[in-house]
Every structure is written in structure tokens, then in C-alpha cells.
Amino acid sequence: MGKKILLEHIDVPGIDTYDVYRKQGGYTAVEKALKTMTPDSVVEEVKKAGVRGRGGAGFPMGMKWSFLAKPEGVPRYLVCNADESEPGTFKDHYLMKHIPHLLIEGMIVSSFALGANKSFIYVRGELMYVIRILEKAIAEAKAAGFLGKNIMGSGYDLELVVQPGGGAYICGEETALLESLEGKRGNPRNKPPFPAVKGLYQSPTVVNNVESISTTPWIINNGGDAYAAIGIGRSTGTKLISASGHINKPGVYEIELGVSVEDFIYADEWCGGIRPGHKLKAVVAGGSSVPILPANLILNLANGDKRLMSYESLSDGGFATGTMLGSGGFIVMDETACVVRNTWNFSRFYHHESCGQCSPCREGTGWMEKVLHRIEHGHGSLHDIDLLVDVAKKIEGNTICPLGDAAAWPVGSAIRHFRDEFEWHINHPVEATQPGAVYRGEMALV
């Protein structure tokens, strides 16, 4: 069994209530931080832990905290990004629903470290029932004296506000989220200035993912060095993986970073293997936006070594033969999955979710969806494949926010690794458009 940090107590009955959470050692990190530590020493522990942003970008959290501007007399804000919307990702949903006090405790410790007295949890609006769970947990924590004025006599005040989104993937991008939190359309902002200097209400702001913030109680209780000792290399600690698709045991798993991809897919502790009678065809390892890899490349690096579940190993080989850990949305496909159809589906998603602010993304996502639709529906031409690559390249790197890249990568990688499948669709339109038709050509299944 791997080390559990976030899900250690997930199976304890009633862990969603304050009393049970407290009995399992909950809120001791708040006591320790507020009574025995300074804000800077909390930041120091998080830096030592080396925990990287769990929302997808993987940027070191402690470093992000240290960029926060601290001008005199200006409020600072911590905003938790709980707008989990990346297809394939459902870990934050799971964590907040089952163990809401972990996030609340993390918010208190993190807000203390940053000197924020009003902090926000921005939850995607579809999760209104989770918002109610969080609000109940906040009321319980407040009644127990862990929120409000002068917490435990420390002189530190904190209020937590849970904010619903309105159904917009783009608001997972931190500056779009801040716009939305200010009651506006979720259009990402130009950077600089970065939120650390001018964020919410033009004040210095840190935006962190639910899972990232939820690591802080353990880090404070056990020390940053202890956290950094878990995992592998610069991929420290544990990561929640949302496993979906054609596996025996879909669900949310906490892994110690560094387990092999092969073990993660086939071991009973995690995915439990591909569903009976089927074989592994491809994996999208880090949420819909990261490059899709065929079976042989997700299991092994280009040099034949085993690929590991870590930031470095998953991105080994760059986009030629690698991918990214991203948000940990691990989507598994067996030989019945059609890569062309799935790519069209993802393109439709990005077209739907583009905010429309930058023309390469607004127009490009629409064109990719249209061209993929016609290939999938038997009206494509071979020229369309190069056209798709061209459109994807023209979006990438040419937009204010990373949604453009996120839309381009799935298309580019699907063509890179499954070009023959696209060609088959174009060359055999009648066969390819039969219900359930899937290319079964020269592909390596495992």
C-alpha cells in the first residue's frame, strides 16, 4: 500500500462531520501554525515540501506563495480554485464531497501563511450540492473557533466565502476565475500584472487548486522535509489520480508519485487492469488537454524503460513520445475506442468552452471541430489531416490563456500517434461510419 496523505481517513464513517474529522487529528495543523509558527515559517515548510500545483500546471506552490506582493495597508487574498472542469478529472469533487474539512483546514493554514483575512473557494456551479457541504463544514469550523475573529486567541481573523461558478471551463484559468469572482464574464486577463501583484479586486492574490491546498495540513503537522521524502525526485508527495474509461476499477486514487504506469493500470490496488476480454490501446494521462499516447508509449519511455507516474517521467520525450501529468485525469481506452471520434469530441468541448476573446482560439477551435466532424462522419479528405495540424499549430502559443494550447495538443498528438486511423476514416468512409466501427489496423495493443 502506498502512502496516503489526503485520503488517509476517507473511509472513516462520518469523516465529513467536524466531530469525526477532529477526532482523527483534524485541525491540529491550524493549532500548530497559529500558536507556534509565523506566517513566513509556514511558507518555508511548504517550499521545503516541494509540492507542485495539482490543478494541472505543476508550478511549485511555495514559490508561487513567495511571489505574493505585500504592500502596506492593502488586503491580500487567497482563492481556492475548485472549478474542476477538465474532462477526465474528478478528484477535487471527490475530496470536497467526502472530506470537506481537509480543504477548510488547508484554507486556514494557507490564508494565515499569506496574511489573507478573507479567502474564497470558487466551486463550479454544477457542484451546488458540494457547495452546501462546504458551507456546513465552514459553519462547524466557525462554531469550534477555527474561523472568525481572533482565532484561538492568536489575533488572526479569517472568513471563508464559498462562491459558485456558472458553468464555464475557462474559469479554471486563474485570471478568468478572478474576473468571474468579481461578477464578470470569465475572460482571462493579460499578464503581467500577475495575480500575485494585482489579482482579486486589483489586490495581491494567490490562486491554488483544492488538492494543493489540502496538502498543507499534513505538511505543517509533519514538516516539509517529510513531505519531500515521499515521491520521486522533483515530483514530491502524493497525487490524486482520477481514473476513468475502460478499466476494471474507475475511481479516485491517491498514489505516491513514482509508481509505474503499468502498475497503476494493472495492479488491483488501483485501476485493476483493462476490462475483461479487451486490450489497452491508448491513454490520455493528465486530463483531456494533454497529448494522447498509444499503449506502448504510455507504458514505456522511448528508450524502453518503464514510464512512471511523475511529472518528469510522463513528460519524458517531450511531445514527440511523451505527455504530461496535468491534473491527473487518467482516461484509459481499449481497442473499442475510436481515436478520431474522441478527438472530435474533445475539440467540440474546447470550441464550446473558448471564451472567444482571442481569434486564434475562437476561430481555430471551431475549425478543428468542423474538420474533425467531417472526417469522423465520412466526408474528410487527406488534405484535412495536414489542415488540422496547421490550425493547431497556429493556435498554440498565440492566445492570452492556455485554453488555446489545451485545445491544440489533443489534436496534434492524436494525428502524431494515430495518423493511420485518420487516413482509414478518410479512405474508407462507408466502413468507418458504420455504428461502432473502429479502426483495427496495425496498432500495438497491450
Partner 1 sequence: MTTETNAKIEFTPERQVLAKEIIARYPEGKQKSALLPLLHLAQEQWGWTSPEVMDYVAGLLGIEPIEVYEVATFYTMFHLDPVGKHVIEYCRTGPCCLMGGEDVYAHLKQKLGIEAGQTTSDGKFTLKEVECLAACGMGPVFQIREQYYMHLTNQRVDEIIEELSK
Residues in contact with partner 1 by the rule CB under 8 A? 75, 84-90, 92-93, 118, 124-129, 132, 161, 163-169, 180-186, 201, 242-246, 250-252, 288, 329, 331, 333, 337, 341-342, 345-346, 348-349, 352-353, 355
Looking at the Cβ atoms of 50 and 366, the one nearer to partner 1 is 366
Residues pairing with 163 in the sheet: 122
In the complex, what is the shortest distance from the CB of residue 261 to partner 1, in angstroms, rounded to a whole number?
Answer: 18
**Among 169, 96, 167, 172, residue whose Cα is nearest residue 135:** 96
Cell 489520480 sits on residue: 241
Cβ closer to partner 1: 109 or 331?
Answer: 331
Structure-derived torsion over alpha carbons of residues 214, 219, 221, 223, reported in degrees to the nearest 10: 180
Strands 329-334 and 238-245: parallel
Ranges of H-type helices in 128-271: 128-143, 174-181, 210-214, 216-222, 224-228, 261-266
Q: What is the DSSP letter of 403?
A: H
Classify the C-alpha dihedral 173-179-183-187 as positive or negative.
negative
Residue 184 or 419: which CB sits closer to partner 1?
A: 184
Closer of 245 and 364 to partner 1 (Cβ) = 245
CB of 252 to partner 1, least distance (A): 7
- Cα-based angle 169, 362, 413 (whole degrees, multiple of 5): 75
CB within 8 Å of 229: residues ≥ 6 apart: none
Instruction: Give the distance from CA 4 to its chain's centroid.
Output: 19
The cell for 213 is 491546498
Q: Which three cell numbers stand for residue 276?
A: 475483461
Q: How far is the CB of 44 from partner 1 (least distance, A)?
A: 29
* Cβ–Cβ under 8 Å, residues 96 and 134: yes
Nearer to partner 1, 178 or 395 (CB): 178
- Cα separation, 204 vs 371, in Å, equals 43
Amino acid letter, 93? H
Which residues are CB-neighbours of 81 under 8 A, at least 6 positions away? 55, 122, 172, 174, 177, 207, 208, 209, 210
Nearer to partner 1, 164 or 380 (CB): 164
Partner residues linked to 251 by β-bridges: 243
Can you say whether residue 13 is alpha, beta or left, with left for phi > 0 and alpha for psi between -120 and 50 degrees?
A: beta
CB of 199 to partner 1, least distance (A): 13
Q: How far is the CB of 431 from partner 1 (least distance, A)?
A: 19
Tally the residues of the chain. 446
Cβ at position 369, least distance to partner 1 in Å? 13
Output the smallest distance, CB 180 to partner 1, in A.
7
Lookup: cell for 202: 486589483
Nearer Cβ to partner 1, position 163 or 260?
163
For residue 289, the minimal CB distance to partner 1 (Å) is 11
**Least distance to partner 1, CB of residue 265, Å:** 14
CB 301 within 8 A of CB 293: no
Shortest CB 159 distance to partner 1, Å: 8
* Residue 206 Ramachandran class (φ > 0 left, ψ -120 to 50 alpha, else beta): beta
Kindly tell me which of 242 and 260 has the beta carbon lying closer to partner 1: 242
Considering the complex, state which of residue 226 and residue 438 has its C-beta at the smaller distance from partner 1. 438
**Pick 67 or 201: Cβ nearer partner 1:** 201
To partner 1, the closest distance from the beta carbon of 254 in angstroms equals 14
Q: Which is nearer to partner 1, 26 or 188 (CB)?
A: 188
Give yes or no for a contact between 306 and 265, defined as CB atoms under 8 angstroms apart: no
